[in-house]
Structure 1
Amino acid sequence: MGLFDRRRRANAEAEARANVATFVALRNAEQVRTAEPRIRSAVDRAAAALGGGHMLTLRLRELLGQALADQGRGEDALREYRTVADTAGRDGEQLVERLAAHSNLAGQLCMEQRYEEAEREARRLLAEVERLPVDMRVYPRLSALNSVGRALVGLERPAEAEQLLRAALAESASATLPVGSFQRILDVNLASALSAQERHDEALARLDAAAAIVDPSGARAGASAIGMGRATALLGLGRHAEAAEAARAGLDAALVAFDEPHPRVRRLRALLAEAEAAVTATR
């Protein structure tokens, strides 16, 4: 490689690294979906200059998948995540990126209600996590356990989901790394498993526990999930006015984090309509 080629590659790497930083900041602000055309262009430039398997290209493609997912374009997001999972290597940073892609695949399959595929993907991830050094297993393992739990609820196996999610919460309590965000979403999905068993008061208690865990980023996606869980449990208890209030709060939060076609937005709108209809019917 000549001097000119080395400089051109160094410039391409610098550009891709700056783009990753920009788009990660947008993701953290729940605005990455607004940059989807820019991310797509950045992926194309990085792939042309650095190759599709370069870490920066893979990272940009993962961010593109997240932008598409937040727009509600689930199938397109799955395609990007699958490309990363299939392209990334099996050692070092590449392995970490590949496991992140599999984690995103499992989560997105749950969001798309493709629960059998989601369970398979999450259990495959659990097996792959064992290849990581012990101190690097915590986050991908908790993510995989959470996705298995979500999938089991969707597959109408809520008692299995409850057992697994309680075990995951116990495991998280002994972690030496900060795991608050994982404990929050594990509580949300445990609440879903409890509501699926008509144990709605217990579900509300888990959602209160989730809400008590402060998200330092102020992200609204988590608040929308809590609102959805509360609306579901309150409807199950016949507390329709409170359910409508919870669904409305969840919907307001979801519309900050997601575009209108997103499954979370659609589900919250359906819960709100159900709760408001029940309120009207009892007047």
Structure 2
Amino acid sequence: MKPSPEPAPAAPASGKPRAALLCWPRLLAKAGDYAQLARMHRPIGSFLLLWPTLWALWLAGHGQPPEGTVLVFCLGVFLMRSAGCVMNDIADRRFDPHVARTRDRPLAAGRVTVREALWLAIGLSLVAFGLVLTQNGLTIGLSFAGLALAAGYPLMKRLHHLPQVVLGMAFGWGIPMAFAAVTGSVPALAWLLYAANIVWSVAYDTFYAMTDREDDLKIGVKSSAILFGARDRQIVALLQGAFLLLLGLAGLMAGCGPVYYLGLFAAAWLMAWEQYLVRRREPAACFHAFLHNNWVGLAVFAGVLVDALP
């Protein structure tokens, strides 16, 4: 009697499912680094994008912007700010290790690879674009320019001393997009608000640049703080005044009432306090003044919001 043949060895299982399973613990272990790379632990930058967007939504909607549009823009602001931070760190990965404030960032410290950072930036941008697709064609078209500004800003600090202007253009791009989403057009009022936001961005980001001025001089990074030199405070004060003037003109164009101007007065008082904070140009105080601009944006929005109430 012949022995029964031995069963053929089973084909080796594909390694792909196993590899995918093995990736998850690694991804979860790095979740904190990805969150830090996207600055989720420091939402101040998101708020500095959010306030101008809310000014625009409320002025475009005469105090009653569509709720769905407000939700889309709020989520989009946080997503695109995070994507912009990742893009910035990719561009600055060779500079950040030499700056005291940035040397512990995930890319600079080697805890996240450039490839991982690229995928994170792409993922965040795609989710944000998915939100934009719920809006009209003009808003969708404008979003491509916003992405180009966000991607281009990190390169500007290698080309000239006013990368803050491009930052302001990127941070304020939600303004024309908001008007496009609510009204289907981008009127002169939107561009006036946009100009005001650019001026404001140069002012507060100069405070930010003042914290790194000594390190930036050593490694060759350009900034408005280096360009302005000893006259930094005076030039920032002029920019802050121009910001308030442009917002005042925007209020006249939009037919705003006295409560709106009370918001501007509160913003002016807050900016005067910032000038006091940076009087000695100490890095910690300059950084505090930068963070303080969150309250400036909120003061302006409070004026817009309350003034629009029936």
TM over 0.5: no
TM-score interval for Structure 1 and Structure 2 normalised by the shorter chain: 0.3 to 0.5
When the two structures are superposed, what TM-score results if normalisation uses the length of structure 1?
Answer: 0.33
Structure with more helix by fraction: 1
Comparing both chains, which one has the higher relative contact order based on Cα–Cα distances under 8 Å and sequence gaps of 6 or more?
2
| Structure of greater Rg | 2
